[in-house]
Amino acid sequence: MPSLDPAVAAQLDATAETRIASLLEFLRIPSISALSEHAGDVRRAADWIVAELTRIGFEHAEVCETPWHPVVYADWLHAEGAPTVIVYCHYDVQPVDPIELWETAPFDPFVRDGRVIGRGSADDKGQLHMHLRAAEALFATRGGLPVNLRIVFEGEEESTSASLPGWLEANRFRLGADAVVISDTGFFEGNIPAITETLRGMLYTQIDVSGTPTDLHSGSYGGVVENPANALAQIIATLKDRDGRILIPGFYDDVLALDAKAKERMAVLPFDGDAYRESIQCGPLQGEAGYTVLQRTWARPTLDVNGLWSGFQGEGSKTIIPAHAHAKVSMRLVANQDPADLFPKFVAHVRAVCPPGVSVDVQLLGMGNPVRTATDHPVTLAAGRALEATFGRAPVFIGAGGSIPVAEMFVRQLALPVILLGFANPDDHAHAPNESMVLANYETGIRTIAMLWDILGHEGAGSSRG
Ligand SMILES: [Zn+2]
């Protein structure tokens, strides 16, 4: 078992107080990317990071302009023969609503009962700060890093990362690397160290059913004219069967079946179905027959109506046949499904089942590819060893039911292996009131990161381009 360089450990032990002060200072900047009145704060956070990167010892630290919020870039490329790793985190945060549910001001962070409480503490400014401090400890004790690092810190992650694809494309020349380490995920339930190996993709659509130009009297026309709301209900009923199986022809063609290894990795995870149900206060769990809850959430695609509206929605009754009806329908996808391939299949199915008498249109609202990381990649293996050495137990490999679009961008645009090494705790309330980060995860995670760079510096990452 490797252990953390004693000099680095001593540096970290001696700087605990200033480290927390710096974290709180960073969290005080209300870098909410979604709200235009905070655009100046997002930029202030970027400036703050660039000053830190420069002070620590990175080179070429720069606030890079994009059409919206800036990207922060920096590098240090003097570890000859060692691998080059891109580190991605984001410094923007979610809005704070509903503000009345916060016990304290979201941008007045503090430490209590072993947690740092404040917006961004876990997602993702706290994790970004961990990378700064790990690098700082290495620079301070050795004057350099054991690996080559390229820093890419984004300011739009919570607002769809609209500028990032263009920025990655334009900066290809300085993004050569062996792998990307993304720290924007978390541990498994019970605060068990974890590496995320799969992310689901997304196909987001809107179905619009139109009947007559205006609403009609349902007494005069009911039973004669097709009702768009009834028609939409019929369409939706054909999308999925009672066993949770999606009925769009060809939908499962490219789904990668779970192999024995992946099943085994999920089977060993402590999962308590009753506690799960209790935590979300739902009825009996539903889903695709023949799969466990974790398999359904991480490794199987699904389809959900996310919004549904038509006709009269006010108080009391109003007897109409509505002129139109709408549904937002999204599909979570898994490897190797391709949303661009599935969208026409979805449209063809909806058109085919739409009752005569009304017309239907399907809009494409969003797409993202699923991501499957390489669990046997040298950087993944090194991250696993660093986690085990610092947290005292080997990480579990987990999936995420949601998506991290940036992970998919690095894979698709730069063809780089991505390692999802995150330190948030499952109960940290990311995106919600009273967001917090477990202080022990923050502190130990800094040591994990420092150790990861050391292991890679010694052992390489498979195909060094240092
Ligand atoms: Zn995040």
CA 371 / ligand 1 centre spacing (Å)? 16
For the chain, percent of residues with pLDDT exceeding 70: 99
- Cα 143 off chain centre by: 34
CA 79 / ligand 1 centre spacing (Å)? 29
CA 21 / ligand 1 centre spacing (Å)? 22
Check the CA dihedral 373-377-379-385 and report its sign.
Answer: positive
Q: How confident is the model at residue 460 (pLDDT cuts 50, 70, 90)?
A: confident
Q: Rounded to an integer, what distance in angstroms lies between the CA atom of residue 155 and that of residue 90?
A: 6
CA 308 / ligand 1 centre spacing (Å)? 28
CA 90 / ligand 1 centre spacing (Å)? 7
Cβ neighbours of 450 (radius 10 Å): 28
C-beta contacts of 225-229 below 8 A and 24+ residues apart: 225/321, 225/357, 226/355, 226/356, 226/357, 226/358, 227/321, 227/322, 228/310, 228/321, 228/322, 228/323, 228/324, 228/325, 228/358, 229/310, 229/311, 229/322, 229/325
CA 431 / ligand 1 centre spacing (Å)? 9
CA 427 / ligand 1 centre spacing (Å)? 14
What pTM does this model have?
A: 0.88
DSSP secondary structure of 234-252: HHHHTTB-TTS-B-STTTT
pLDDT in tens, 372-401: 898 899 999 999 999 999 999 999 999 988
For the chain, percent of residues with pLDDT exceeding 90: 89
CA 186 / ligand 1 centre spacing (Å)? 10
CA 123 / ligand 1 centre spacing (Å)? 4
CA 185 / ligand 1 centre spacing (Å)? 7
Q: Rounded to an integer, what distance in angstroms lies between the CA atom of residue 405 and that of residue 422?
A: 16
Q: Do domains 6-199+370-459 and 201-255+301-368 have the same CATH topology?
A: no
pLDDT at 463 over 80: no
CA 355 / ligand 1 centre spacing (Å)? 42
CA 272 / ligand 1 centre spacing (Å)? 26
Element spanning 169, H or E: helix 164-170
CA 184 / ligand 1 centre spacing (Å)? 5
Domain ranges of the chain: 6-199+370-459, 201-255+301-368
pLDDT of residue 374: 84
pLDDT of residue 25: 98
**What is the average per-residue pLDDT within 305-313?**
96
CA 241 / ligand 1 centre spacing (Å)? 34
Q: How confident is the model at residue 464 (pLDDT cuts 50, 70, 90)?
A: very low
- Which fold does the domain 6-199+370-459 belong to in CATH? Aminopeptidase (3.40.630)
pLDDT in tens, 134-170: 999 999 999 999 999 999 999 999 988 999 999 999 9
In Å, the largest CA–CA distance within the chain is 85
Residues recorded for the chain: 466
pLDDT in tens, 282-294: 999 999 999 999 9
Assign domain 201-255+301-368 one CATH number from 3.30.70.920, 3.20.20.10, 3.40.50.2000, 3.30.70.360.
3.30.70.360
| Residue 264 DSSP label | H
CA 52 / ligand 1 centre spacing (Å)? 21
CA 406 / ligand 1 centre spacing (Å)? 10
CA 459 / ligand 1 centre spacing (Å)? 30
CA 50 / ligand 1 centre spacing (Å)? 20
CA 260 / ligand 1 centre spacing (Å)? 31
CA 341 / ligand 1 centre spacing (Å)? 28
- Inter-axis angle of helices 16-27 and 439-459, to 10 degrees? 110
pLDDT of residue 405: 86
CA 124 / ligand 1 centre spacing (Å)? 5
pLDDT at 466 over 50: no
Q: How confident is the model at residue 203 (pLDDT cuts 50, 70, 90)?
A: very high
Cβ neighbours of 254 (radius 10 Å): 16
